[in-house]
């Protein structure tokens, strides 16, 4: 994806304190806590930070003093893209694997992991998939397999200190599909283990609906509208959304 300005999921987290009415802040905190389960692009960070600032998101930092304290040190924003068609193909395979490491205290992006993944069951992308995601065949041809990408994710997590037991981090997704359906389903198909850190996450839709009183049927678009945020980046593009 050529447009590295897309960061609407991060913008929602970054500006939420400024947009939520003060009387709703305790509910937001409770919403996030209630979701807890029982149990590399160099230079990209600064680009995203500048883009956020250019859209006026930096002003929300003044509201951080009223934002409820976070129990996590880092939020790992994740959004897969996968092979697809109409009617849907089976099995679907992850073709883009992006993660943004967001500091839970400053709400600043500290690091980015991003790789494209070569599909093996349906190696040829459909025209529908390319039109939806913006991912062309040349972006996935010759790229690492999912197993190799997962190994590099683990290396990145270790390098970023996210595997340290004293560091609390959690994935944030727009819906449950990424980590409840897509990743475990493909890993099961390929006979791959799923790392424990992928087994808990915050569904941003649930937190939003609890705080705002309505379910965002259209995902990010509805949440942006509800919070008066401008959507930037390309919809249905992992790193761009």
Q: Is 114 a catalytic residue?
A: no
Q: Is 81 a catalytic residue?
A: yes
- Among the options 55, 114, 231, 236, which is catalytic? 236
Question: With contact defined as beta carbons under 8 Å apart, do 203 and 221 qualify?
Answer: no
- Among the options 81, 96, 160, 241, which is catalytic? 81
Show the tokens assigned to 41.
Answer: 């692009």
Q: Which residues contact 184 (CB under 8 A, 6 or more apart)?
A: 194, 198
- Rounded to a whole number, what is the largest CA-CA distance in the chain? 52
Give the strand pairing for 94-103 and 169-173. unpaired
Q: SS in 3 state form for 142-196?
A: CCCCHHHHHHHHHHHHHHCCCCCCCCCEEEEECCCHHHHHHHHHHHHHHCCCCCH
Measured between alpha carbons, how far is 197 from 204 in angstroms, rounded to an integer? 17
61 burial via Cβ count (<10 Å: 0-12, 13-18, 19+):
middle
H helix count then E strand count, the chain:
9, 6
Query: Which residues are known catalytic residues?
Result: 81, 236
């Amino acid at each position: 994806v050529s447009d590295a300005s897309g960061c609407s999921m991060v913008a929602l987290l970054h500006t939420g304190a400024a947009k939520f009415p003060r009387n709703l802040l305790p509910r937001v905190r409770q919403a996030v806590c209630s979701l807890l389960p029982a149990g590399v692009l160099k230079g990209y960070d600064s680009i995203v930070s500048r883009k956020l600032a250019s859209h006026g998101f930096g002003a929300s930092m003044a509201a951080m003093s009223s934002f409820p304290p976070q129990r996590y040190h880092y939020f790992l924003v994740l959004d897969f893209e996968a092979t697809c068609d109409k009617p849907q193909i089976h099995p679907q395979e992850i073709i883009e694997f992006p993660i943004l490491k967001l500091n839970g205290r400053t709400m600043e992006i500290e690091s980015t992991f991003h790789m494209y993944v070569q599909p093996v069951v349906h190696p040829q992308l459909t025209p529908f998939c390319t039109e939806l995601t913006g991912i062309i065949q040349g972006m996935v041809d010759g790229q690492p397999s999912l197993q190799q990408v997962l190994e590099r994710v683990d290396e990145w997590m270790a390098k970023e200190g996210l595997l340290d037991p004293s560091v609390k981090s959690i994935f944030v997704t727009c819906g449950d599909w990424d980590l409840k359906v897509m990743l475990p389903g493909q890993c099961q198909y390929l006979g791959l283990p799923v790392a424990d850190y992928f087994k808990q996450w915050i569904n941003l839709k649930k937190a939003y609906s609890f705080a705002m009183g309505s379910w965002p049927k259209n995902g990010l678009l509805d949440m942006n509208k509800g919070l008066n945020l401008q959507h930037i980046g390309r919809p249905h593009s992992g790193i761009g959304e």
